[in-house]
Amino acid sequence: MKQLTRLALVINDVQRFVICDPEKDSLAVVLRRLGLTGTKIGCNTGVCGACSVIVNGQVIRSCTRKMKNVAENSVIRTIEGIGTPQNLHPLQQAWITYGGIQCGFCTPGFIVSAYGLLSENPSPTREEVREWFRSHRNICRCTGYKPIVDSVMAAAKVMRGEATMADITFDPDSVKDIYGSYLPRPSAVAKACGLADYGDDIKLKMPEGVAHLAVVISKVPHARIISIDTSEAEACEGVYKVMTAKDVKGTNNLDSPAVVPRQRGTGLTLFPVLADEKINRIGDAVALVAADTEEHARAAAEKVKQNLEILPAYKTLPEAVMPNAIQLNKGVPNFYMEQPVFKGQDPSEIFDDAPHVVEGSFHSQHEPHLPIEPDTVQAYWGTDGLLTIQCKSQSITESIAAVSQSCGIPTDKIRMIMNTTGGSFGYAVSSNTYALVVTAVQNLDMPCTLTLPYAEFNHMSGKRSATFTNGRLACDENGKIIAAEYDVGLDHGAYGEVAGKIFNNLVSIGFHGYNIPNIKALARGVATNNAFNTAYRGFGAPQIYTTTEALMDMLAEKAGIDPWEFRYRNLARPGDTNINSMPYYDYEVYPKMLEMIKPYYDKYKAEAEAGRAEGRHLGVGLSMGGFLVTIGMFDQAEVALELMPDGTFTHYNTWEDVGQGGDIGALTHAVKALEPLGVKPGQVHLVMNDSKTCPDTGLAAASRSHYMAGNATIDAANKLMDAMRKPDSTYRTYAEMVAEGIPTKYIGHYDQFNIGLPPGLNPNTGEGEKNPTYMYNANTCLVEVDVETGKTKVLRYTTACDVGVIGNRLSVEGQAYGGLSHSIGFALSENYNNELRENNIAACGIPQITDIPDDFNVLFHESKRPNGPHGSCGCSECFQSSNHMAVINAIKNACGVRVFALPATPDKVKAGLEALKRGEEIIPEKYYLGTDFEEELDFIKANPI
């Protein structure tokens, strides 16, 4: 018999009475049941701080506090008791104003935690703030932390009476030109007050009669399914149905072709919604349980039995391409696509006689995205007859197509709405969980909801592809590069999803900004039994810069030239071409990036020198990079603008907002495009991310949204203003438009079909240009290595970037700090190897606040992009391109250890130090990537397609 208890609690200054299961219920669950959903549940294991509340004056993580450990009459404060939209607390206002909010999922926990800090210490130093958040395990994946510390410091001033609320509030009426302003995002107030409803909050607020789902996932990486026994699970209390592959109504295949037009390769992998014949990774969905409660669904899921024939698992690319390896995907070889690059003289003819040559083999890891919010999905038949899916998709149209194909529903029968989303960074382009919930709705004919526990989310979701690369680089006596070659294998995991898009970047982004006169390179795509791989900020760029920016430093050292000078000497100048034999767009920007970074580089070098004199192991690193903008010639975007009866405007779009600021982007573009009408931010409403009501603006990826949606908005605004304009050049009112029968709503369109871009790289030569513009950056940092433990700490970091004319400064700075913090994590700690123990953000190496420097600088150079909206391009992926390599190069500078295989965890650095003590160096052996590099390129030359 279930026994409950009644407890009196003082919550946000009011006595409340709760009924709870003292053994099972956590305080977080009870608070959320009361409707206080500002207390978020992310990890549910005490490692993210999203559930922070104050109990009897102490900040605690409420997800791990069982109700049996909450005393009667405890005094509890949640985010709802700190301030309201009508009466914001200084902390909430500061978070809004200083960029503390992006996706906002961590925000309530941080603000509550900061409230606890300032109650104890009204005048903390920045270091004390950082230490507080570290010790209370408040983790933010979006902001890079610096804006959060800025927010606390600003709020503390107000609370001490040294500043006013007005001082820390951005006044929208003060904006003369919205473009380039610090206007906060429209969703910030709701997020700061804990009132933004994310997926799991929506689940709690749905009407009765909803089926709760639990997924049964594979716990082994490779197996043949003999049978799935669901009988015991079917008999469990509250179970409606247990579904397996036979219950999927469509093709049961989520994958789109791995090989995009003009690529060399074979076939289409099968990415099942529910595994049918085979398991290809830990995290494949094997069965789906629907029950009356989440608890019942989860209990029944435990009873599903997987009868499997275990097969050999290839967790890395070199294993999967061994000559005797078994084929992982039906009809698709393990090594399933390739792209060569040939430019200039064959480097093989140059290397032997070159004055300076370096070579190495490099590995970049499967990086997990680690948003604080796990995946949540609701789906139901709408009153309009559409199957409505509420989820985190950042590619609504593609997700609808994937669900349609795999679940057997016409696309025009599907409506997709994006919930407020607690971070994605790319994983939410995948549709595997959406298709699962749709399958349940189809089978049960009732609304269904799924909230994945973090461990399952981490195993089920896609990751950044890993790479294994062999590379060489040569220069002449003057330090001018004369030849390069690299053979890069993309370890793309279980399925081919987006492989084609990531893949080509490996042979177009490498050595970005330099003049490499002679190069040959090969990119290979390979299937393994690791997680399936998907989009992640900078897709393909961090992987290839791991090789090229290491080789640049290694060659500079070999030639005896300072790494800054070496890079500067090798910059592309007018007349030079990129590795795809195309002219660069902005020759004047590359030297600017290095020049802007130079004072910081010199300062860090002087500090490192002084530190070394005291016996510290300080080092300075550099990297140069950048990334493309848009998905190339096939890219297109639409938005709509409507004049409303009250004279305001509505902007309709699917600029998916994963926390990067789709809302402030759309608002900024609309106000700017309607500038001739004198429109203010408060006069524009946003209708976003609902496929029924919004035109298709395309996916939020490839740093394309600001560029594409911006150009489409200009088109919509021009059409609307043309319609409103009277012969005397004044503008019609809504009433006048209606009276004259003139439409008040216009679709704006922008595409790249006819701007001269080819559909991709030439599959035989690697020649060609894929993108209309690029972003550029150079990075430097100062690190310290603890030679006892091998641990690296980044002390200072500065990036100089050109991301075009800035639309919203708060968002762009936010993307910079956030992307750089992921880059530092990628360099030092983040990893995912498809192991069961990698079940939360801590186990996967997410950086805490003290792992990210507070001395963190972003320097902007704003050159106008000719075809960009108001001179803009994109920004996000610039900050997660080569940025990690400044850290890796700094480690070498600090202690002499070059880490060839990321991340540079303490054990690797320590092993390198031990080897140096023995007078050795750890040099990885050349990777075997399936076939001989030279022979493969000769074969491609002899067999053009």
Sole window of 37-45, 457-465, 537-545, 688-696 interacting with ligand FES (rule: CB under 6 A): 37-45
Task: Indicate the residue among 112 and 519 with the shorter CB distance to ligand FES.
Answer: 112
Q: Does 329 bind ligand FES (CB under 6 A)?
A: no
Smallest distance, ligand FES to C-beta of residue 214, A:
19
Interatomic CA distance for residues 727 and 748, integer angstroms: 23
Q: Does 41 bind ligand FES (CB under 6 A)?
A: yes
Alpha helices in 140-250 (DSSP H): 146-159, 188-192, 199-204, 231-234
Sole window of 48-56, 300-308, 471-479, 708-716 interacting with ligand FES (rule: CB under 6 A): 48-56
Q: Does 65 bind ligand FES (CB under 6 A)?
A: no
The helix (H) or strand (E) run that includes residue 414 is strand 414-418
Interatomic CA distance for residues 407 and 438, integer angstroms: 7
Sole window of 35-43, 391-399, 728-736, 908-916 interacting with ligand FES (rule: CB under 6 A): 35-43
Sole window of 45-53, 429-437, 567-575, 579-587 interacting with ligand FES (rule: CB under 6 A): 45-53
User: Where in 729-758 is the site for ligand FES (CB under 6 A)?
Assistant: none
Sole window of 46-54, 328-336, 488-496, 855-863 interacting with ligand FES (rule: CB under 6 A): 46-54
User: Where in 364-383 is the site for ligand FES (CB under 6 A)?
Assistant: 372
Using the structure block, give the residue that is written with the tokens 């108001």: 870
Q: Does 106 bind ligand FES (CB under 6 A)?
A: yes
- Contact with ligand FES (CB under 6 A): which of 38, 49, 695, 853? 49
Q: Which residues pair with 793 in a beta bridge?
A: 784
Interatomic CA distance for residues 229 and 226, integer angstroms: 10
Directed axis angle between helix 809-828 and helix 883-895, to 10°? 40
Q: Does 513 bind ligand FES (CB under 6 A)?
A: no
Sole window of 44-52, 200-208, 272-280, 723-731 interacting with ligand FES (rule: CB under 6 A): 44-52
C-alpha dihedral sign at 354, 356, 361, 365 = negative
Interatomic CA distance for residues 793 and 847, integer angstroms: 11
- Contact with ligand FES (CB under 6 A): which of 7, 29, 63, 620? 63
- Contact with ligand FES (CB under 6 A): which of 46, 344, 517, 591? 46
- Contact with ligand FES (CB under 6 A): which of 104, 116, 698, 763? 104
Q: Does 142 bind ligand FES (CB under 6 A)?
A: yes
- Contact with ligand FES (CB under 6 A): which of 136, 141, 669, 892? 141
- Encoded tokens for 339: 């792209």
Task: Indicate the residue among 130 and 501 with the shorter CB distance to ligand FES.
Answer: 130
- Contact with ligand FES (CB under 6 A): which of 47, 289, 291, 337? 47
3-state secondary structure 436-485: HHHHHHHHHCCCEEEECCHHHHHHHCCECCEEEEEEEEEECCCCCEEEEE
Kindly tell me the burial class for residue 693, based on how many C-beta atoms sit within 10 Å of its own C-beta (0-12, 13-18, 19 or more). Answer: middle
- Contact with ligand FES (CB under 6 A): which of 9, 11, 31, 51? 51
Q: Does 76 bind ligand FES (CB under 6 A)?
A: no
Query: Minimal CA–CA distance to 299: which of 374, 242, 248?
Result: 242
- Contact with ligand FES (CB under 6 A): which of 94, 140, 499, 628? 140
| DSSP 8-state symbol, 537 | T
Q: Does 103 bind ligand FES (CB under 6 A)?
A: yes
Task: Indicate the residue among 50 and 624 with the shorter CB distance to ligand FES.
Answer: 50
Q: Do you find a cis peptide bond into 312, omega within 30 degrees of 0?
A: no
Smallest distance, ligand FES to C-beta of residue 137, A:
6
- Contact with ligand FES (CB under 6 A): which of 186, 283, 423, 493? 423
DSSP state letters, 372-401:
SS--EEEEEE-TTS-EEEEE--S-HHHHHH
- Our separate counts of H helices and E strands in the chain read 25, 29
Sole window of 140-148, 322-330, 537-545, 615-623 interacting with ligand FES (rule: CB under 6 A): 140-148
Task: Indicate the residue among 24 and 573 with the shorter CB distance to ligand FES.
Answer: 24
Q: Does 42 bind ligand FES (CB under 6 A)?
A: yes
Task: Indicate the residue among 623 and 840 with the shorter CB distance to ligand FES.
Answer: 840
Q: Which residues pair with 6 in a beta bridge?
A: 19
- Do the Cβ atoms of 874 and 705 come closer than 8 Å? yes
Task: Indicate the residue among 50 and 213 with the shorter CB distance to ligand FES.
Answer: 50
- Contact with ligand FES (CB under 6 A): which of 61, 146, 617, 669? 61
Sole window of 79-87, 103-111, 691-699, 919-927 interacting with ligand FES (rule: CB under 6 A): 103-111
Catalytic annotation, pick one of 367, 456, 813, 877: 877
Binding characters for ligand FES, 621-660, by CB under 6 A (x = yes) = --------------------------------------x-
343: number of CA atoms within 13 Å, CB side? Answer: 28
The SS3 of residue 16 is strand
Kindly tell me the burial class for residue 120, based on how many C-beta atoms sit within 10 Å of its own C-beta (0-12, 13-18, 19 or more). Answer: exposed
User: Where in 656-695 is the site for ligand FES (CB under 6 A)?
Assistant: 659
Residues that bind ligand FES (rule: CB under 6 A) add up to a total of: 26
Q: Does 465 bind ligand FES (CB under 6 A)?
A: no
φ, ψ for residue 888 (rounded to 5)?
-65, -45
Smallest distance, ligand FES to C-beta of residue 24, A:
16
Task: Indicate the residue among 46 and 758 with the shorter CB distance to ligand FES.
Answer: 46
Task: Indicate the residue among 59 and 243 with the shorter CB distance to ligand FES.
Answer: 59
Interatomic CA distance for residues 388 and 407, integer angstroms: 14
Q: Does 772 bind ligand FES (CB under 6 A)?
A: no
3-state secondary structure 248-307: CCCCCCCCCCCCCCCCEECCCCCCCCCCCCEECCCCCEEEEEEECCHHHHHHHHCCCEEE
Kindly tell me the burial class for residue 235, based on how many C-beta atoms sit within 10 Å of its own C-beta (0-12, 13-18, 19 or more). Answer: exposed
- Do the Cβ atoms of 685 and 651 come closer than 8 Å? yes
- 877 a catalytic residue: yes
Interatomic CA distance for residues 135 and 849, integer angstroms: 10
Q: Does 50 bind ligand FES (CB under 6 A)?
A: yes
Smallest distance, ligand FES to C-beta of residue 141, A:
4
How open is the CA angle 513-516-520, to the nearest 5 degrees?
120
Task: Indicate the residue among 42 and 538 with the shorter CB distance to ligand FES.
Answer: 42
Interatomic CA distance for residues 232 and 229, integer angstroms: 8
Q: How many CB atoms lie within 10 A of CB 6?
A: 9
Task: Indicate the residue among 507 and 858 with the shorter CB distance to ligand FES.
Answer: 858
Smallest distance, ligand FES to C-beta of residue 854, A:
17
Q: Does 188 bind ligand FES (CB under 6 A)?
A: no
Interatomic CA distance for residues 106 and 192, integer angstroms: 10
Sole window of 7-15, 134-142, 406-414, 758-766 interacting with ligand FES (rule: CB under 6 A): 134-142
- Contact with ligand FES (CB under 6 A): which of 11, 18, 48, 409? 48
DSSP state letters, 618-684:
EEEEEEEEEEEESS-TT-EEEEEEEE-TTS-EEEEE----SSS-HHHHHHHHHHHHTGGGT--GGGE
Q: Does 105 bind ligand FES (CB under 6 A)?
A: yes
Task: Indicate the residue among 18 and 50 with the shorter CB distance to ligand FES.
Answer: 50
- Contact with ligand FES (CB under 6 A): which of 37, 44, 548, 654? 44
- Please report, as ranges, the residues that interact with ligand FES according to CB under 6 A: 41-44, 46-51, 61, 63, 101-107, 140-143, 372, 423, 659
Q: Known catalytic residues?
A: 877
